[in-house]
Structure 1
Amino acid sequence: MMIILTQKINLDSHKQPDLTIYLTAQERTKIKQTIELKEVNSHNISVVKINLSRGNFLESEDILTDDRATFFVRIKAKLEPVITVKSESKLDLLKAAYHLGNRHVSLEISENYLRFSPDHVLENMLIKLGLNIYEELAPFFPEIGAYQH
């Protein structure tokens, strides 16, 4: 069975979603996509089609529903391979963000670390700059475009 999700809503805090779907950062950028579910669920849904209108974007914890608001799906960030960059020096992290941004890398920025998708060329550059890098499986939340805020 297939469900078509067409809108984002705020779900009453007492109501639980019917289904939770885990998406990578890249998958959360797509407002029109078809997802085949590999796991059996109590609703016998095997395919979820996301068909949001332009101007929307998906974030972890969003709730999507169908046209009649009868079925609710929570979007969650999926664990994915990432490189986490750390340094005792905030200035070194700032310089790393500059160099990664100059290469148009999707980048998660926090006060204590940077995070991006694995790329051995970028990893080597950061090591040469004296930063510590760690291969991890973690949810990835890259910065969204400045015009989407």
Structure 2
Amino acid sequence: MRTIDKRLDAHVKIARVLVTRAPGLTLPFEARCKSRLAATLDTGEEVALVLPRGTVLRDGDVLVADDGGLVRVSAAAEAVLLVRAPDVLTLTRAAYHLGNRHTPVEVGIDYLKLEYDAVLADMLTRLGASAKQASLPFQPETGAYGGGHRHGHDETFAEDYAVAQKVFDEHHGHAHSHEHAHDHGHSHDHGHAHSHSHSHSHSHDDGHDHDHCDASCSHGHHHHAHR
């Protein structure tokens, strides 16, 4: 039995003919989230899937077996709810409420797709959306709730991460600047500590108790910034 233990990064260029000729591995979403799996290729060959933990396979991924052979991943058709709406606002509200329930969702330009659930179908209908059962491949957004992990080779992930990191860096940089100014203020002569604390408290009337902030407070601020 061959073991499949590697996934090629998207930037690795492989001749299209080699990918086309590679045997397929068709799996539903739940199976594509497993890093250890006994599976059967579309050719009928039984294989062992042994990938790094946290791997979530996507439709079109190319895997490499221990003998160097390639395997092409396909998303299997499965029971899903196909959600559409008469307007963008209704579709956005549907996505918001599904996110609140930690539901894996595939996001399209004008549709949402999720694993079939009669209760969620009723909720979506009451919100004004159309939720119809269908048998289709399911490839949800992954990373936020209940769907494994995204990986850096995903172009959309890279773009989302760059935006999020920029916001974090801006906030983190401000936090360091604020702490530096605060620490500097406490280096004043002890005899002026009371008057300095009084003026500092008034100039930062933002709900934070700067006068009594100690090491644990600073630690909590860092924890908040990094979350």
Give the shorter-chain TM-score range: 0.7 to 0.9
- SS of the residue 1:142 aligns to: coil
Counterparts of residues 1-149 of structure 1 (less than 5 Å): 2-9=1-8, 10=12, 11-15=14-18, 16-36=20-40, 41=43, 45=45, 47-54=46-53, 56-69=55-68, 71-146=69-144, 148=150, 149=157
C-alpha distance in structure 2 between counterparts of 1:131 and 1:55, whole Å: 33
Cα offset, 1:77, TM superposition: 0.7
> In the alignment, residue 114 of structure 1 is paired with which amino acid?
L
Distance 2:55 2:39 in 1: 18
Q: 2:29 is paired with a residue of what secondary structure?
A: coil
Aligned mates of 1:66, 1:135 — CA distance in 2: 36
How far the C-alpha of 1:73 sits from its partner, in A, is 0.9
Distance in structure 1 (CA, Å) of the matches to 2:22 and 2:124:
43
Give the superposition deviation at 1:68. 3.8
Residue identity opposite 1:119 in structure 2: D
For the residue of structure 1 that corresponds to 2:38, the secondary structure is strand
Relative contact order, higher structure (CA 8 A, sep 6+)? 1
What secondary structure, in the 3-state scheme, does the structure 2 residue paired with 1:127 have?
helix
Question: Which of the two has higher C-alpha Rg?
Answer: 2
* TM-score normalised per structure 2: 0.58
Give distance in 2, aligned partners of 1:17 and 1:55: 28
Tell whether the 8 Å contact from 2:25 to 2:40 is kept in structure 1 after alignment: no
What is the percent sequence identity of the aligned residues? Answer: 32
Counterpart of 2:16, as a letter, is: S
User: TM-score by structure 1 length?
Assistant: 0.85
**Structure 1: 5+ residue stretches without partners:** none
The one-character-per-residue Cα deviations of 1:46-102 (angstroms, maximum 9, x if unpaired) are: x11111123533111111112341x21110011111101101211111100111111
Q: 1:31: Cα distance to partner?
A: 1.8
Which amino acid is 2:48 matched to? K
Relative to 1, partners in 2 of residues 1:17 and 1:51: Cα closer, same or farther, differing over 3 Å? farther
- After the TM superposition, which of the residue ranges 130-139 and 13-22 deviates more from structure 2? 13-22
Q: Segments of 4+ in structure 1 off by > 3 A? A: none
The separation in 1 between residues aligned to 2:31 and 2:54, in whole angstroms, is: 16
Given that residues 65 and 72 in structure 1 are in contact (C-alpha distance below 8 angstroms), is that contact kept between their aligned partners in structure 2?
yes
